[in-house]
Amino acid sequence: AERDKRDSSYNNVVIEFKAPAFFKGNARSAKFIEATEGRLLKYIQRVASEHGLDEKDYIGVAIDGEHVAFAQVQDGQIIHQPLMPFSPISFQMVVDALRASFRRAITAENLAEDFGHAAQTGREFMQQLADALAEALSATGDRKIKMLFAEWATLYGQAADLSLQQRKKIDASLGFDFSGPASIDLPAKLFVTHTFHSLLMKLIAAEIVAAHGMASSTSLIHELLAIEKDEALIEALRADVEDGGFFNAVGLHGFVEEAIFSWYLDAASKTAIRTALCEAIRKLLAQLSVYRFDTIKKTGRSRDVLRDFYQDLVPEELRKSLGEFYTPDWLVEHSVAKLGYDDQKWLAARLLDPTCGSGSFLLEAIEQKRRAALAAGWDAWHTVKML
């Protein structure tokens, strides 16, 4: 980016190269500030203006051979993530950014492409979870994971009888194997899939919170990626994600209530499992790092991103055997509209949701109440209190 020229760029990715150890591993060093504020910021602003694109769509990368940091422009300022030691994971993050060309949108299609059963990142992570579960269920001694699996199976894992052909079809659509007892093969695979989905959704939620300036951190994902020791990464995931520490710190108490899907952290007490799991976790975090979390459009299929991604992750035959049927968006909107509420009635309405589905009806009701509050000129505080 010297003399207003970028060192390197690929579509919407701009890279600032510096001499080895130029940043001295310190994000407050004058050289790092020069690379981000003096180079990346100016270039991204100029090229975005020239091409008529949103500054936030660009990915900035500062590299000095020993460390790498990612950055993006928000409201005229360069926001950088923690400096990370140059490693296979941080190198892969640069590669992923170049492949993406721009910050990816949170859509069900993108999530399925990057984390579904056909994607290497998702497939490898779920395989590591499956291996960890098989070992934990066969081990003697500590019964915690066995009890969590049994509790989950009682509550959520009761599939109706499936034919051999249906089971083969489900197995073919899953990208991983389970080496445990054949009698629990299908429930175990579903448990692994639910665990993977749960962790991914919590990480996405944390990034959305951070992207909207609600947390002291600009990105939990990048903070986790900056942790080099496996033991420290596991503890950070336990404290910030599975125990809800990150969410509690911003006032979102009770966001994480289900302890069942944190079992993989207990499985990581064994060194071999911890090493394999942490490698898969870092690859997952690296893939997520190229996403843009500050805008999630409620249009078309992206309206209910999490539901649609879940439907892609859990095979249709299996979902139906579990009694999971989802109401199309158009039918949800039509059904809620049949209530015939005007704005005043929506503002006063109190609704009860059985919480036994995807929440589509509840989300539509909340949207109608928000719309009515906006039409009435309510501010954000009163709107949230009403909801």
pLDDT at res. 288: 92
| 364-385: pLDDT as tens digits | 999 999 999 999 999 988 998 8
- Please provide the size of the chain in residues: 387
How many domains does the chain contain in total?
3
Residues 48 and 153 in one domain: no
| 203-250: pLDDT as tens digits | 999 999 888 878 778 889 989 998 989 999 999 999 999 999 999 998
**Which of 59-68, 315-324, 330-339, 358-367 is predicted least confidently?**
315-324
Q: Is the pLDDT of residue 301 over 70?
A: no
| Structural domain ending residue among the three candidates 76, 101, 126 | 101
Q: At CA 82, angle to CA 258 and CA 256, rounded to 5?
A: 10
Average pLDDT score, the chain: 86
Predicted TM-score (pTM) of the model is 0.78
More reliable by pLDDT, 13 or 338:
338
Domain ranges, residue 356? 327-387
| Structural domain ending residue among the three candidates 44, 76, 101 | 101
Residue showing tokens 């336990």: 238
The two three-digit tokens of residue 130, written as one number: 């499956």
Q: Judging by DSSP bridges, how do beta strands 67-74 and 59-63 pair with one another?
A: antiparallel
Helix (H, G, I), strand (E, B), or coil: what is residue 194?
helix
Please give the Cα distance from 241 to 239 (Å, whole number).
6
Please give the Cα distance from 4 to 186 (Å, whole number).
58
Q: Judging by DSSP bridges, how do beta strands 67-74 and 77-80 pair with one another?
A: antiparallel
Residues 47 and 93 in one domain: yes
**Which of 12-16, 266-270, 292-296 is predicted least confidently?**
292-296
Cβ(55)–Cβ(48) below 8 Å: yes
Is residue 314, in this structure, part of any structural domain at all? no
Please give the Cα distance from 47 to 52 (Å, whole number).
8
Percent of the chain with pLDDT over 90: 43
Q: Is the pLDDT of residue 180 over 70?
A: yes
Q: How confident is the model at residue 175 (pLDDT cuts 50, 70, 90)?
A: confident
More reliable by pLDDT, 212 or 136:
136
| 333-354: pLDDT as tens digits | 999 999 999 999 999 999 888 7
